[in-house]
Amino acid sequence: MGELGVAVIGCGFIGNVHLRAWSKVKGSRIIAAVDLIGGKAKRAAEAYKAPYWLTDYTKVLEMREVDIVDVCTPTYTHAEIVVSAAKSGKHVLCEKPIALRLSDADDMIGAARKAGVKFMVAHCLRFWPEYVESKRLVESGAIGEPRIARAYRLSPFPEWAPWHKDRRLGGGVFVDMSIHDVDFLRWAMGEVEEVFARGGTLKTADSTSHDFTHAILKFKSGAIAYVEGSWIQPPGFPFTTYLEIVGTHGMLAVDNHSPAALKVYRPGEPPAVYTPFEEDAYDKEVKHFYECIVRDLEPAVPGEEAKKTLEVTLAAVKSVDEGRPIKLPLEGEVL
Amino acid sequence: MRKLRFAILSFAHIHAWSYARVLKSLEEAELAAIYDDDPERLRRAAEAYGVKDLYGDYRQLLKREDIDAVVIASENAKHAELAIAAAEAGKHMIVEKPLATTLEDAEKMIKAAEKAGVKLQQAFVMRYHDATVAVKNLLDGGTVGKILAVMTTNHGKFPGLWFDDPKLAGGGAVMDHVVHTADLMRWYTRDEFDEVYAVIGKNIRPDLRSEDCALISLRFKSGIVGSIDCSWSRPNTFYTWGDVFLAIYGTDGFILVDAFRPCINLVIEGKPLTWHYYGPDADYNMIKDFVYAIQEDRPPRATGYDGYKALEVSIAAYESARKGLPVKLPLQR
């Protein structure tokens, strides 16, 4: 197999992160950067030496030299782009959440299967160092059976993506952000059977999306988890995550500030507290997808997995709306 | 100021030992007598604090005119009997949390104290940690605007003893932990709970006689969202006893509290790392304030009613977990 051509659709924050990651994957070549806003596509194409920049994604589906389409657009556009990319025979990497409707997820999964292309949803915690190591510890039996988990993720509202204020476009804080923790907990602890959640649109003006949600998950195994997502942090609040898993023989806990290798302080900016890796989670994620294509492997997060994770987050939205616990699987759509 | 003469009624609860330490250290108070229904524990307490007047029958102790106030730190289920007797004997009292194991008992205690005109303070020690007091002042000063949501945890090791015996404790980890942060939330928001949803389990210590964990979702009347993650989930080898953690989300700011985080990393050759606490002494603050509440004849910072309302959350949590559904407060009795 020769070099695989990549087109990244959506050149916002995560699109640029993926472009940088693709630029490091030997055996791949960035062919096109696509964005509805021409300036963004052009800047991204220039930065990553892609021969083409486009505003119409359907054009890349016709390009023979494009093997992989990496969908980094707003959530509400995922289904249409992924289905048409798969139908065009392109392998598809799609940013999380997979979609906002379960039927859309089914269409995406079906289209990829029918076309015989690889399809993965970019749930980056599956490549995130402390989460990968936590999963490994749980799997190794180091803390016994995982029985109680706690995870939270705190951020100011993502003002840079105003479509998040419309729940039909972005799904809200739990579907968009806590989905990371839910996906990780499913990965580490198995399937969820019931969700109770509380929250709402507590602070954000003119938003139909929930900006704060806490959820209590009951797993099939009998384990339980508390997951909280906040988009109501004050401006400038440093992005904060926490994970704790208690097992029958011990526990693990990790957050994203205390164990950081590096702290950078600059005037007028919140401290940057992080642990840099030459190959970061996004690099690993993108490289993994490339390997899946080249070696014909099952991707770490196939569409079916991402759909199950989505379903749990949708159950949380439904629980907040209806004030009662929601059993899985869901009957019908939520958003 | 006259020295107040105190008695401690039972050292069954581990906090009794700390309260005795505080009483011994206060200029304003004197630990005059102790009672315990366990002769061996009575002997150990007497030895530890140099108390000479020892009682195996609390009625005899309560007959003493020279005792002004009592600390009740028995097993939870025995609080009511001791508190009602203390009230009838005209003694002011501070009662270990939870106030009682049933709302009926809690109400009887409150009424007995009211009738006798004695003070009943609920030992909500978290109202006396300097950090949580600072938070109260920040919130009352409007530092974060209006409160939107509160997330709390109270994790610990399994305390052993009778704490998992439902007959004596009234339950397990829920009875032990929930009231602390439930009370802080009520204190901070000046609001009452409207709905409780809880998942309760014996998830990690199958040998216990009670639950070891709970996840609780709360809503206040004003719509404020709250949560409590409480458990005896910390391994016996954990580097500290546990935590009281609060995240308070306001319209205009955010406060994080990790009350027992002020610790020195201490490693002694041949032993694992431990966290050596150097933070505020909330037990000291609380007992001292109780002494002053009596001297100055003012209401205690946390009353019997506060104890009742926090206990109601625990009782509702059990009911919610049993039904698998949210439960409305106040509970109908």
Hey, is the C-beta of B211 within 8 angstroms of any chain A C-beta? no
**Tens-place pLDDT, residues B48-58:** 999 999 999 99
Percent of chain B at pLDDT above 70?
A: 100
* ipTM for this model: 0.93
Q: Nearest C-alpha of chain B: how many angstroms from A128?
A: 25
Residue in B195, B203, B247 nearest the CB of A148: B203
Subunit contact B326:A323, Cβ cutoff 8 A = yes
pLDDT of residue A1: 55
Interchain CB distance below 8 Å, B199 and A223 = no
Place of tokens 């108390």: B51
List of domains in chain A? 4-124+282-301 (3.40.50.720), 126-277+309-327 (3.30.360.10)
> Is-same-fold flag (B4-118; B128-278+311-328)?
no
Q: What is the CATH number of domain B4-118?
A: 3.40.50.720
Q: What average pLDDT does this structure show over B210-216?
A: 98
Residue in this structure with the two tokens 């959506």, named with its chain if needed: A10
Q: Which residues of A touch B229 (CB under 8 A)?
A: 150, 226
Interface size, chain A vs chain B, as Cβ–Cβ contacts under 8 Å: 100
Residue B2 above 80 pLDDT? no
Query: Cα dist. B203→A22, A139, A292, B86, B178 in Å?
Result: 43, 18, 38, 39, 17
What do you get for the CA distance between the two ends of chain A, in Å?
A: 42
Name the interface residues of A facing B (CB cutoff 8 Å).
144, 147-148, 150, 152, 154, 196-200, 202-203, 212, 214, 216, 218, 222-226, 228, 230, 232-234, 237, 246-248, 250-251, 323-325
**Residue A20, number of CB atoms within 10 A of its CB:** 17
**What residues form DSSP beta bridges with A274?**
A262
Which one of A150, A247, A323 has the shortest CB-CB distance to B229? Answer: A150
B contacts of A222 (beta carbons < 8 Å):
201, 203
Q: Residue type at A139?
A: E
Q: Which tokens in the block code for residue B253?
A: 């700011």
Contact call for A216 and B249, based on CB within 8 A: no
User: Residue B217: its chain A contacts at CB < 8 A?
Assistant: 196-198, 214, 216
pLDDT in tens, chain A (335 residues): 579 999 999 999 999 999 999 999 999 999 999 999 999 999 999 999 999 999 999 999 999 999 999 999 999 999 999 999 999 999 999 999 999 999 999 999 999 999 999 999 999 999 999 999 999 999 999 999 999 999 999 999 999 999 999 999 999 999 999 999 999 999 999 999 999 999 999 999 999 999 999 999 999 999 999 999 999 999 999 999 999 999 999 999 999 999 999 999 999 888 889 999 999 999 999 999 999 999 999 999 999 999 999 999 999 999 999 999 999 999 999 99
Q: Judge contact between A287 and A25, C-beta under 8 A.
A: yes
Amino acid occupying residue B187: W
Provide the shortest C-alpha distance from residue B121 to chain A (in Å).
33
Helix, strand, coil fractions of chain B, as percent rounded to 5: 35, 25, 35
Give which of B140, B209, B187, B221 is closest to B310, Cα–Cα.
Answer: B187
Distance from CA of B325 to the nearest CA of A (A): 7
User: Chain A partners of B252 at a C-beta cutoff of 8 Å?
Assistant: 234
| CA–CA gap between residue A234 and residue B144 (Å, rounded) | 9
Burial of A139 (0-12, 13-18, 19+ CB in 10 A): exposed
Q: Which CATH superfamily is domain B128-278+311-328 in?
A: Dihydrodipicolinate Reductase; domain 2 (3.30.360.10)
Contact present, B34 and B82 (Cβ < 8 Å): no
Nearest chain A alpha carbon to B253: A234
The pLDDT tens digits for B68-127 are: 999 999 999 999 999 999 999 999 999 999 999 999 999 999 999 999 999 999 999 999
**Does B202 lie at the interface with A, CB-CB under 8 angstroms?**
no
Q: What is the 3-state secondary structure (H, E, C) of A263-313?
A: EECCCCCCCEEECCCCCCHHHHHHHHHHHHHHHCCCCCCEHHHHHHHHHHH
A224 and B215 in contact by Cβ < 8 A?
A: yes
Do B203 and A224 count as a contact with CB atoms less than 8 A apart? yes
* Residue position matching structure tokens 């007598």: B33
Where do the structural domains in chain B lie, given as residue ranges? Answer: 4-118, 128-278+311-328
Closest in A225, A237, A325 to B325, CB measured? A325
